[in-house]
Amino acid sequence: MEYDKEDHTWRRRSSATLKQTTCQPMPKRSHTVAVIVLGLAVLSCLLGYCVLSETLPYESKTLRLVIVLFRHGARTPISSYKSDPFKNYQWPDGLGSLTNAGKLQLYELGKKYRNYYANFIPEEYYEKDVYVMSSDKSRCLMNAYTFLAGLFPPSDRQTWHPELPWQPIPVHSLPKDLDDIVAQTKPCKVWKSMYEELLEEANSDPKFAELFDYLSKHTNQSPFLNEIKMNLQDSVSHTNLDRSLYIYSGHDVTVVGLWRTLGYSELLEPEYGASLVLELHEEVEQDTFFVKLFYRNNTKVEVPMELNMPFCDDPCTYNRFIQHIETLIPNNWEEECQN
Protein backbone atom coordinates (compact mmCIF):
# COMPACT_ATOMS: atom_id res chain seq x y z
CA MET A 1 0.00 0.00 0.00
CA GLU A 2 1.14 3.55 -0.64
CA TYR A 3 -0.35 6.88 0.51
CA ASP A 4 -1.60 9.30 -2.15
CA LYS A 5 -0.92 12.77 -0.72
CA GLU A 6 -3.15 14.48 -3.29
CA ASP A 7 -6.24 12.31 -2.70
CA HIS A 8 -5.48 11.66 0.99
CA THR A 9 -6.09 7.95 0.62
CA TRP A 10 -4.25 4.63 0.60
CA ARG A 11 -3.89 2.79 -2.69
CA ARG A 12 -2.44 -0.52 -3.80
CA ARG A 13 0.85 -0.28 -5.62
CA SER A 14 0.55 -0.83 -9.34
CA SER A 15 1.95 -4.07 -10.67
CA ALA A 16 4.49 -2.08 -12.66
CA THR A 17 6.14 -0.91 -9.47
CA LEU A 18 6.50 -4.36 -7.97
CA LYS A 19 9.64 -6.33 -8.65
CA GLN A 20 9.27 -9.88 -9.90
CA THR A 21 10.95 -12.49 -7.72
CA THR A 22 11.64 -16.16 -8.30
CA CYS A 23 10.30 -18.53 -5.66
CA GLN A 24 12.53 -21.44 -4.67
CA PRO A 25 11.39 -24.59 -2.86
CA MET A 26 11.72 -24.27 0.88
CA PRO A 27 12.54 -26.94 3.46
CA LYS A 28 9.58 -28.05 5.60
CA ARG A 29 10.96 -26.56 8.82
CA SER A 30 11.74 -23.29 7.10
CA HIS A 31 8.27 -23.36 5.58
CA THR A 32 6.69 -23.63 9.05
CA VAL A 33 8.77 -20.75 10.37
CA ALA A 34 7.89 -18.70 7.30
CA VAL A 35 4.17 -19.30 7.84
CA ILE A 36 4.46 -18.14 11.47
CA VAL A 37 6.43 -15.07 10.48
CA LEU A 38 3.95 -14.32 7.71
CA GLY A 39 1.06 -14.69 10.14
CA LEU A 40 2.68 -12.28 12.58
CA ALA A 41 3.39 -9.86 9.75
CA VAL A 42 -0.24 -9.96 8.60
CA LEU A 43 -1.43 -9.42 12.18
CA SER A 44 0.95 -6.49 12.57
CA CYS A 45 -0.29 -5.01 9.32
CA LEU A 46 -3.90 -5.38 10.43
CA LEU A 47 -3.16 -3.74 13.76
CA GLY A 48 -1.16 -1.06 12.03
CA TYR A 49 -4.01 -0.43 9.62
CA CYS A 50 -6.45 -0.03 12.50
CA VAL A 51 -4.23 2.64 14.05
CA LEU A 52 -3.47 4.23 10.71
CA SER A 53 -7.09 4.31 9.60
CA GLU A 54 -7.96 6.40 12.66
CA THR A 55 -5.35 8.99 11.79
CA LEU A 56 -6.29 9.40 8.15
CA PRO A 57 -8.02 12.70 7.28
CA TYR A 58 -11.38 13.12 8.96
CA GLU A 59 -14.21 12.42 6.51
CA SER A 60 -17.49 14.27 7.09
CA LYS A 61 -20.04 15.57 4.62
CA THR A 62 -21.95 17.33 7.39
CA LEU A 63 -19.15 19.35 9.06
CA ARG A 64 -19.66 23.12 8.84
CA LEU A 65 -17.64 24.74 11.63
CA VAL A 66 -14.76 23.87 13.99
CA ILE A 67 -13.91 25.70 17.24
CA VAL A 68 -10.58 24.76 18.86
CA LEU A 69 -9.51 25.79 22.37
CA PHE A 70 -6.09 24.69 23.58
CA ARG A 71 -3.81 25.17 26.55
CA HIS A 72 -0.30 26.53 25.95
CA GLY A 73 2.69 24.20 25.87
CA ALA A 74 5.41 23.50 28.44
CA ARG A 75 6.62 26.57 30.33
CA THR A 76 9.05 27.50 33.09
CA PRO A 77 7.66 27.78 36.66
CA ILE A 78 5.35 30.75 37.17
CA SER A 79 6.53 31.33 40.75
CA SER A 80 8.84 30.04 43.46
CA TYR A 81 8.26 28.95 47.06
CA LYS A 82 10.14 29.25 50.32
CA SER A 83 11.90 25.85 50.22
CA ASP A 84 12.39 25.81 46.44
CA PRO A 85 15.93 24.40 45.84
CA PHE A 86 16.06 26.31 42.53
CA LYS A 87 14.69 29.63 43.78
CA ASN A 88 17.96 31.39 42.97
CA TYR A 89 18.12 29.99 39.45
CA GLN A 90 17.74 32.65 36.80
CA TRP A 91 15.53 31.38 34.01
CA PRO A 92 16.90 32.88 30.76
CA ASP A 93 13.43 33.88 29.52
CA GLY A 94 11.93 34.52 32.94
CA LEU A 95 9.23 32.83 34.99
CA GLY A 96 6.19 31.50 33.16
CA SER A 97 7.92 31.62 29.78
CA LEU A 98 7.39 29.12 26.99
CA THR A 99 10.18 26.57 26.59
CA ASN A 100 11.45 25.22 23.28
CA ALA A 101 9.65 21.97 24.08
CA GLY A 102 6.46 23.96 24.59
CA LYS A 103 6.88 25.69 21.24
CA LEU A 104 7.33 22.35 19.52
CA GLN A 105 4.31 20.81 21.27
CA LEU A 106 1.86 23.28 19.75
CA TYR A 107 3.59 23.21 16.38
CA GLU A 108 3.06 19.44 16.34
CA LEU A 109 -0.55 19.91 17.49
CA GLY A 110 -1.14 22.26 14.58
CA LYS A 111 0.22 19.61 12.20
CA LYS A 112 -2.05 16.99 13.75
CA TYR A 113 -5.13 19.15 13.20
CA ARG A 114 -3.93 19.91 9.66
CA ASN A 115 -3.81 16.16 8.94
CA TYR A 116 -7.02 15.38 10.82
CA TYR A 117 -9.08 18.09 9.10
CA ALA A 118 -7.27 17.89 5.76
CA ASN A 119 -10.58 17.41 3.95
CA PHE A 120 -12.19 20.39 5.69
CA ILE A 121 -9.62 23.09 6.39
CA PRO A 122 -8.41 24.85 3.21
CA GLU A 123 -4.83 24.01 2.24
CA GLU A 124 -3.97 27.71 2.03
CA TYR A 125 -4.60 30.28 4.75
CA TYR A 126 -7.17 32.96 3.96
CA GLU A 127 -8.24 35.49 6.57
CA LYS A 128 -11.92 35.06 5.72
CA ASP A 129 -11.76 31.37 6.72
CA VAL A 130 -10.02 31.57 10.08
CA TYR A 131 -10.18 33.70 13.24
CA VAL A 132 -7.56 33.33 15.97
CA MET A 133 -7.71 34.79 19.48
CA SER A 134 -5.24 34.38 22.33
CA SER A 135 -4.74 35.28 25.94
CA ASP A 136 -2.40 38.27 26.12
CA LYS A 137 0.17 36.19 28.02
CA SER A 138 3.36 35.84 25.99
CA ARG A 139 3.37 32.03 26.19
CA CYS A 140 -0.16 31.86 24.77
CA LEU A 141 0.57 34.32 21.97
CA MET A 142 3.74 32.45 21.04
CA ASN A 143 1.89 29.14 21.02
CA ALA A 144 -0.85 30.57 18.83
CA TYR A 145 1.82 31.37 16.25
CA THR A 146 3.57 27.99 16.51
CA PHE A 147 0.21 26.18 16.26
CA LEU A 148 -0.60 28.16 13.11
CA ALA A 149 2.83 27.36 11.68
CA GLY A 150 1.94 23.68 11.86
CA LEU A 151 -1.64 24.20 10.70
CA PHE A 152 -0.94 26.43 7.71
CA PRO A 153 2.50 25.88 6.17
CA PRO A 154 2.85 28.34 3.29
CA SER A 155 2.06 27.17 -0.21
CA ASP A 156 4.40 28.08 -3.08
CA ARG A 157 2.32 31.19 -3.67
CA GLN A 158 2.52 32.20 -0.01
CA THR A 159 6.25 31.54 0.44
CA TRP A 160 7.97 34.89 0.88
CA HIS A 161 11.44 33.59 1.81
CA PRO A 162 12.96 30.44 0.28
CA GLU A 163 14.61 29.37 3.54
CA LEU A 164 11.71 30.14 5.87
CA PRO A 165 8.70 27.78 5.56
CA TRP A 166 6.47 30.04 7.66
CA GLN A 167 3.92 32.76 7.02
CA PRO A 168 2.60 35.45 9.38
CA ILE A 169 -1.03 34.89 10.41
CA PRO A 170 -2.86 37.46 12.58
CA VAL A 171 -3.61 36.59 16.20
CA HIS A 172 -6.01 38.83 18.15
CA SER A 173 -5.87 39.47 21.89
CA LEU A 174 -7.21 41.78 24.59
CA PRO A 175 -5.27 43.46 27.43
CA LYS A 176 -5.43 41.66 30.77
CA ASP A 177 -7.93 44.06 32.34
CA LEU A 178 -10.27 43.77 29.33
CA ASP A 179 -10.02 40.06 28.51
CA ASP A 180 -13.29 38.41 29.52
CA ILE A 181 -13.07 35.75 26.80
CA VAL A 182 -9.84 33.69 26.78
CA ALA A 183 -7.77 34.56 29.86
CA GLN A 184 -10.93 35.75 31.67
CA THR A 185 -8.92 38.22 33.71
CA LYS A 186 -11.29 41.16 33.34
CA PRO A 187 -12.33 42.18 36.86
CA CYS A 188 -15.80 41.29 38.12
CA LYS A 189 -16.26 42.87 41.54
CA VAL A 190 -19.26 40.84 42.66
CA TRP A 191 -17.80 37.54 41.51
CA LYS A 192 -14.45 38.15 43.23
CA SER A 193 -15.93 39.01 46.62
CA MET A 194 -18.43 36.12 46.53
CA TYR A 195 -15.86 33.60 45.31
CA GLU A 196 -13.29 34.46 47.98
CA GLU A 197 -15.90 34.37 50.72
CA LEU A 198 -17.35 31.06 49.60
CA LEU A 199 -13.92 29.52 49.10
CA GLU A 200 -13.17 30.17 52.74
CA GLU A 201 -16.59 28.92 53.85
CA ALA A 202 -16.48 25.81 51.65
CA ASN A 203 -13.19 24.77 53.22
CA SER A 204 -14.58 25.10 56.73
CA ASP A 205 -18.26 24.14 56.30
CA PRO A 206 -19.41 21.33 53.94
CA LYS A 207 -22.87 22.89 53.52
CA PHE A 208 -21.32 25.60 51.33
CA ALA A 209 -19.57 23.11 49.06
CA GLU A 210 -22.62 22.67 46.81
CA LEU A 211 -23.03 26.42 46.37
CA PHE A 212 -19.31 26.79 45.66
CA ASP A 213 -19.58 24.07 43.01
CA TYR A 214 -22.56 25.87 41.46
CA LEU A 215 -20.64 29.13 41.23
CA SER A 216 -17.67 27.33 39.70
CA LYS A 217 -19.91 26.10 36.89
CA HIS A 218 -22.01 29.22 36.36
CA THR A 219 -19.57 32.11 36.69
CA ASN A 220 -16.53 33.54 34.91
CA GLN A 221 -17.14 31.58 31.67
CA SER A 222 -20.15 33.57 30.51
CA PRO A 223 -18.46 35.88 27.95
CA PHE A 224 -16.56 32.96 26.40
CA LEU A 225 -19.77 30.93 26.18
CA ASN A 226 -21.42 33.89 24.52
CA GLU A 227 -18.54 34.02 22.04
CA ILE A 228 -19.10 30.35 21.20
CA LYS A 229 -22.84 30.94 20.89
CA MET A 230 -22.32 33.80 18.42
CA ASN A 231 -19.85 31.76 16.37
CA LEU A 232 -22.36 28.93 16.04
CA GLN A 233 -25.26 31.27 15.32
CA ASP A 234 -23.35 33.06 12.57
CA SER A 235 -22.71 29.74 10.87
CA VAL A 236 -26.28 28.46 11.24
CA SER A 237 -27.84 31.72 10.06
CA HIS A 238 -25.35 31.95 7.17
CA THR A 239 -24.21 35.34 8.47
CA ASN A 240 -20.62 34.27 7.94
CA LEU A 241 -20.48 31.35 5.53
CA ASP A 242 -16.76 31.72 4.80
CA ARG A 243 -15.61 31.37 8.40
CA SER A 244 -15.04 27.69 9.09
CA LEU A 245 -12.48 27.73 11.91
CA TYR A 246 -12.10 29.57 15.22
CA ILE A 247 -8.96 29.05 17.30
CA TYR A 248 -8.43 30.12 20.93
CA SER A 249 -5.05 29.91 22.68
CA GLY A 250 -5.51 29.92 26.44
CA HIS A 251 -4.67 28.36 29.78
CA ASP A 252 -5.57 25.26 31.76
CA VAL A 253 -8.24 27.29 33.59
CA THR A 254 -9.80 28.20 30.23
CA VAL A 255 -10.06 24.55 29.24
CA VAL A 256 -11.31 23.45 32.67
CA GLY A 257 -13.80 26.33 32.80
CA LEU A 258 -15.41 25.33 29.51
CA TRP A 259 -15.36 21.67 30.58
CA ARG A 260 -17.26 22.52 33.76
CA THR A 261 -19.86 24.70 32.07
CA LEU A 262 -20.60 21.89 29.62
CA GLY A 263 -21.79 19.82 32.57
CA TYR A 264 -18.83 17.62 33.44
CA SER A 265 -18.19 17.06 37.14
CA GLU A 266 -15.13 14.81 36.74
CA LEU A 267 -11.81 16.35 37.72
CA LEU A 268 -9.95 17.50 34.61
CA GLU A 269 -6.22 18.17 34.72
CA PRO A 270 -5.28 19.31 31.21
CA GLU A 271 -1.69 18.62 30.26
CA TYR A 272 0.34 21.07 28.20
CA GLY A 273 -1.27 21.42 24.79
CA ALA A 274 -4.60 19.86 25.83
CA SER A 275 -7.46 20.88 23.55
CA LEU A 276 -11.25 20.92 23.44
CA VAL A 277 -12.94 20.96 20.03
CA LEU A 278 -16.54 21.84 19.19
CA GLU A 279 -17.87 20.86 15.78
CA LEU A 280 -21.05 22.13 14.14
CA HIS A 281 -22.67 19.72 11.68
CA GLU A 282 -25.59 20.17 9.31
CA GLU A 283 -27.97 17.47 8.09
CA VAL A 284 -29.26 19.24 4.99
CA GLU A 285 -31.95 16.68 4.14
CA GLN A 286 -33.35 16.85 7.67
CA ASP A 287 -32.78 20.60 7.94
CA THR A 288 -31.12 20.20 11.35
CA PHE A 289 -27.83 21.14 12.97
CA PHE A 290 -26.04 19.25 15.72
CA VAL A 291 -22.93 19.81 17.87
CA LYS A 292 -20.11 17.40 18.69
CA LEU A 293 -17.44 17.73 21.39
CA PHE A 294 -13.93 16.24 21.30
CA TYR A 295 -10.99 16.27 23.73
CA ARG A 296 -7.23 15.72 23.49
CA ASN A 297 -5.46 15.66 26.86
CA ASN A 298 -2.03 16.34 25.34
CA THR A 299 -0.28 16.84 22.03
CA LYS A 300 0.79 13.19 21.74
CA VAL A 301 -2.78 11.96 21.24
CA GLU A 302 -3.30 11.20 17.55
CA VAL A 303 -7.10 11.16 17.41
CA PRO A 304 -9.30 13.33 19.66
CA MET A 305 -11.81 11.49 21.84
CA GLU A 306 -15.48 12.23 21.23
CA LEU A 307 -17.45 13.02 24.38
CA ASN A 308 -21.13 12.74 25.17
CA MET A 309 -22.39 15.95 26.76
CA PRO A 310 -24.21 15.28 30.07
CA PHE A 311 -27.08 17.67 29.36
CA CYS A 312 -27.81 16.38 25.88
CA ASP A 313 -28.75 13.24 23.96
CA ASP A 314 -26.46 11.95 21.23
CA PRO A 315 -26.43 13.52 18.72
CA CYS A 316 -26.75 16.83 20.55
CA THR A 317 -28.93 19.13 18.50
CA TYR A 318 -27.84 22.71 17.98
CA ASN A 319 -31.02 24.02 19.62
CA ARG A 320 -30.49 21.92 22.76
CA PHE A 321 -26.85 22.99 22.99
CA ILE A 322 -27.75 26.67 22.70
CA GLN A 323 -30.57 26.22 25.20
CA HIS A 324 -28.09 24.86 27.74
CA ILE A 325 -25.39 27.51 27.42
CA GLU A 326 -27.97 30.33 27.42
CA THR A 327 -28.85 29.37 31.01
CA LEU A 328 -25.23 30.21 31.91
CA ILE A 329 -24.94 33.52 30.06
CA PRO A 330 -26.11 36.65 31.96
CA ASN A 331 -28.20 39.27 30.20
CA ASN A 332 -25.71 41.99 31.07
CA TRP A 333 -22.35 40.81 32.40
CA GLU A 334 -21.03 44.31 33.18
CA GLU A 335 -24.16 45.25 35.11
CA GLU A 336 -24.26 42.05 37.13
CA CYS A 337 -20.57 42.40 37.99
CA GLN A 338 -21.21 45.95 39.19
CA ASN A 339 -18.02 47.07 37.47
What is the per-residue pLDDT for 87? 84
* Of residues 254, 241, 310, 330, the one with CA closest to residue 280: 241
Sign of CA dihedral 154, 160, 166, 169: negative
Distance of CA 146 to the CA centre of its chain: 14
User: Got the DSSP string for 276-332?
Assistant: EEEEEEEETTTTEEEEEEEEESSTT-SSPEEE--TTS-SSEEHHHHHHHHHTTS-S-
Q: Which residues fall within 8 angstroms of residue 279, CB to CB, at 6 or more apart?
A: 63, 65, 66, 67, 291, 292, 293, 294
Q: Letter for the amino acid at 142?
A: M
What is the per-residue pLDDT for 241? 81
3-state secondary structure (DSSP) of residue 275: strand
Q: Which residues fall within 8 angstroms of residue 274, CB to CB, at 6 or more apart?
A: 70, 71, 252, 255, 295, 296, 297, 298
Q: How far is CA 255 from CA 183, 235, 252, 268, 332, in A?
A: 10, 23, 5, 9, 24
Supply φ then ψ for residue 284, to 5 degrees.
-60, -45
pLDDT, one tens digit per residue, over 206-221 is 666 666 565 555 555 6
Residues of the chain with pLDDT under 70: 1-56, 202-221
CATH 3.40.50.1240 is held by the domain 58-337: yes
What is the per-residue pLDDT for 209? 64
Rounded Cα–Cα distance for residues 232 and 267 (Å): 27
> Is the separation of the CB atoms in 22 and 31 below 8 Å?
no
Distance of CA 82 to the CA centre of its chain: 36
Identify the bridge partners of residue 98 per DSSP, sorted by sequence position.
Answer: 75
What is the per-residue pLDDT for 158? 97
What is the per-residue pLDDT for 267? 86
Q: How many other CB atoms are found less than 10 A from the CB of residue 289? A: 21
Domain parsing of the chain, residue ranges: 58-337
Task: Tell which phi-psi region holds residue 263, choosing left (phi > 0), alpha (psi between -120 and 50) or beta.
Answer: left
What is the per-residue pLDDT for 28? 53
Rounded Cα–Cα distance for residues 45 and 43 (Å): 5
> Is the separation of the CB atoms in 186 and 180 below 8 Å?
yes
